[in-house]
Amino acid sequence: MEHLLLLQKAFEERTIEEALDYTVHLVGGKLKCSTSFGQEDQVLTDMIVRHALPVTFFTLDTGRLFNETYETMEKTVARYKTAIEVFFPQAETVQQMVNTHGVNLFYESVENRQLCCHIRKVEPLGRALKDAAVWITGLRAAQTDLRKNIPVVEWMSEKNLYKINPLLNWSYDEVVQYLEKFMVPYNSLHDQGFISIGCAPCTRAIGAGEDPRSGRWWWETTQKECGLHVVK
C-alpha cells in the first residue's frame, strides 16, 4: 500500500516496460502475470520476455477451453522459452458441481454460471496468487463499461497485493498493431470473430459492430464478468 502512489505515477510518466522494471525494484516481491492467451495477454508476455523482466506467468485451465487456446499456449512457450504455470480447479469440487447441477449448468441460470466460474476460475486464481506481491493483467478499459473506471494500479487489500493493468488505456487497434509489429503468436479464433475468448461452451464469435464482450455468456443480459476481476 505504501508504494501505490509511486507506482501510479510511474505508469503515468514512463513506458510500460520502464514502469514494470521500476515495479520490480520498488516492490521487491514476486510479480505474477496471468494469461488466458488472449491478444492483450500475448502483448504483455512479449513485453515482459523481450525486456527480460523477472515475472512469473500463470494460466487457469478450467477444463472447458478451446483446443485453439491450448495450441496458443504451446506456441507461446515454444516462442519465448518461458514456463507458464497451469492451475486447475479442484477435481472433487467440479465433480460435485456436475453431479448436482449437470455438466452444462451455466445455461440454466446466472447463479449456476457464477458458481461454475467460481469453481473453475476464481478459486484457482486464489491459489495462483497466494505468494504474489504484484498481479499483472491484460485488462483494457474499452472492453466493458464496467472496466472504464478502474485504475492502472490498485491495491487489493483482500489479496494483499498490487494489481497492475498496464494496457488499460490501449485501444484494440493498438493491441493488434503490436502483435503484427513483433509477430507475436495469437489465438487463431481471433481471425474467426472471437474477440474475447473464454471457455468453449460460453463463448461465441461476434458480428460487426457488436460489443467485444457480447460473445461471452451471450444468453445473459447482466454484467459480463466471471468474478476474476471484481469491478466496483
pLDDT of amino acid 231: 47
Residue 33 a catalytic site member: no
Q: What is the pLDDT of residues 181-219, one digit of tens each?
A: 999 999 999 999 998 899 999 999 988 878 777 888 888
pLDDT of amino acid 146: 64
Whole-model pTM: value is: 0.92
Of the candidates 33, 117, 202, 226, the residue annotated as catalytic is: 226
pLDDT of amino acid 28: 86
Residue 151 φ/ψ region, left for φ over 0, alpha for ψ in the -120 to 50 degree band, beta for the rest: beta
Instruction: Report DSSP letters for 141-191, one per residue.
Output: GGG-GGGTT--SEEEETTTTEEEE-TTTT--HHHHHHHHHHTT----GGGG
The C-alpha cell at 180 is: 503484427
pLDDT of amino acid 227: 61
Q: What is the pLDDT of residues 42-74, one digit of tens each?
A: 999 999 999 999 999 999 999 999 999 999 999
Rounded Cα–Cα distance for residues 7 and 15 (Å):
12
